[in-house]
Amino acid sequence: MTSYCGLPPGPFELGSRWNLDPLLLAALGAALLLARRSRRPGLAMAAVGVLALAFVSPLCALSVALFSARALHHLLLVTAAAPLIALAWPAARPGTPGLSLAVATAVLWAWHLPALYDAALANTGVYWLMQATLLGSAVWSWRAVFAAPPLAGGLAAILGMAQMGLLGALLTFAARPLYAAHFGTTEPWGLAQLADQQLAGLLMWVAGIIPYALAVALIGRRAWRGGLPA
């Protein structure tokens, strides 16, 4: 079956591969209207912009060809859109982020198992299950991190950073290509499949930990100013 984002594009056709799925555009439009009613409309609208970049722009198509683009796509969901949504719609009460972090970690790692990953790129229903569970579990985790007492929230963000870095390291140092969905799709871009997989791992390992580090800094700043409970 063909991926939701279509066939793998070549370098010269990528610029024309915008995803104008009417249902997707309607959903993003509704999300934009909802964003205006959030506690922090600017952050909510920024989150919708990140989702548009992930699903409407040619990045959607590129992620069919390159696993590194798919890694970037996942980072946009989990470490950009999700924390923005969590800040725009904060949790009503403080809590412990351990359970939500464990679930979000399990979801992220599960979708990088070769069988599940390949299934998501081959079936539209599984593809959207991947996106919904990645985003939903990440929003839950980030809301818990920001609502928790400073020590618990900071520790959870550090653990989130560690699991993202570990997953990235495992992908970077894997001895062989793992994903059948990308067999033969990376060569038109001048990348061997293993090199593309290593690039994806480095993105997760390096760039993927930055939002968690920023969260630790934000939590520390709020605690210093007395904005979070002790």
| Residue 93: count of CB within 10 angstroms of its CB | 6
Rounded-to-10 torsion of CA 115, 118, 124, 126? 20
In sign, the C-alpha dihedral spanning 138, 209, 47, 143 is positive
Q: What is the per-residue pLDDT for 1?
A: 58
pLDDT digits (tens, 9 = 90+) for 45-82: 999 999 999 999 999 999 999 999 999 999 999 999 99
| pTM score, whole prediction | 0.94
Cα first-last separation, the chain: 52
Confidence of residue 229 (pLDDT cuts 50, 70, 90): very low
Range with the lowest mean pLDDT among 69-73, 141-145, 225-229? 225-229
In DSSP notation, 134-198 reads HHHHHHHHHHHHHHS-HHHHHHHHHHHHHHHHHHHHHHHT-SS---GGGTTTSGGGT--HHHHHH
Band the pLDDT of 93: cuts 50, 70, 90. confident
pLDDT at 184 over 80: yes
